[in-house]
């Protein structure tokens, strides 16, 4: 089984580096064993409060870079970004600087739809959500061999 961990970002609680270190130290690491996906940074709407955690678009971009740089230094590869196009546009100004990193896009419906600027394709598409059931629908953009390669290579 190929599996991975994700970190629900709370950018107004602490620096990106602090959250990346906590995530890595508590199950978010990556080893290149072919069974573990790199960690995912979950960037989405806050359950309550300001949509963008009270951060400006530039501050959010800096926070994400801080998380990325720290995680990559520890794990040896970049994390996956999990987000929606709407959140990314609103909270980063549709920043394109992460477009070469893996994208896990959440869009519930029959089509992936438009992606945030900088990405040409998604790595993973979450196309359904089942609150309380634990059975969200996620689709890898490729075949099993490419998923195994993704879990192995830096």
Give pLDDT tens digits for 2-44: 999 999 999 999 999 999 999 999 999 998 899 999 999 999 9
DSSP letter string, 41-76: EE----SSS-TTTT--HHHHHHHHHHHHHHHHHHHS
For the whole model, what pTM was predicted?
A: 0.92
Tens of pLDDT along 79-107? 999 999 999 999 999 999 999 999 999 99
Q: What is the mean pLDDT of the chain?
A: 92
Q: What is the dihedral of CA 41, 72, 36, 15, to 10 degrees?
A: -30
pLDDT confidence of residue 87: 96
pLDDT value of position 45: 87
What is residue 110's predicted lDDT score, i.e. its pLDDT?
Answer: 87
Token pair in block for residue 1: 């089984």
pLDDT attached to residue 134:
60
Could you tell me which residue, 130 or 64, shows the higher pLDDT? 64
Residues 6+ apart with CB under 8 A from 100: 118
For 92, phi and psi rounded to 5 degrees?
A: -120, 0
Least confident stretch, 82-96, 116-130, 132-146: 132-146
* Domains of the chain: residue spans and CATH: 6-152 (3.20.20.80)
């Amino acid at each position: 089984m190929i599996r991975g961990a994700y970190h629900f970002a709370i950018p107004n609680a602490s620096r990106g580096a602090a959250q990346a270190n906590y995530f890595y130290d508590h199950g978010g690491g990556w080893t290149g064993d072919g069974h573990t996906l790199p960690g995912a940074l979950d960037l989405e709407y806050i359950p309550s409060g300001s949509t963008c955690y009270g951060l400006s678009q530039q501050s959010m971009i800096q926070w994400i870079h801080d998380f990325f740089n720290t995680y990559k230094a520890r794990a040896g590869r970049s994390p996956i970004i999990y987000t929606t196009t709407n959140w990314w546009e609103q909270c980063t100004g549709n920043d394109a600087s992460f477009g070469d990193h893996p994208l896990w896009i959440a869009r519930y419906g029959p089509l992936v739809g438009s992606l945030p600027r900088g990405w040409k394709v998604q790595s993973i598409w979450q196309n359904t959500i089942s609150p309380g059931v634990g059975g969200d629908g996620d689709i890898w953009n490729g075949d099993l061999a490419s998923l195994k390669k993704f879990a192995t290579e830096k």
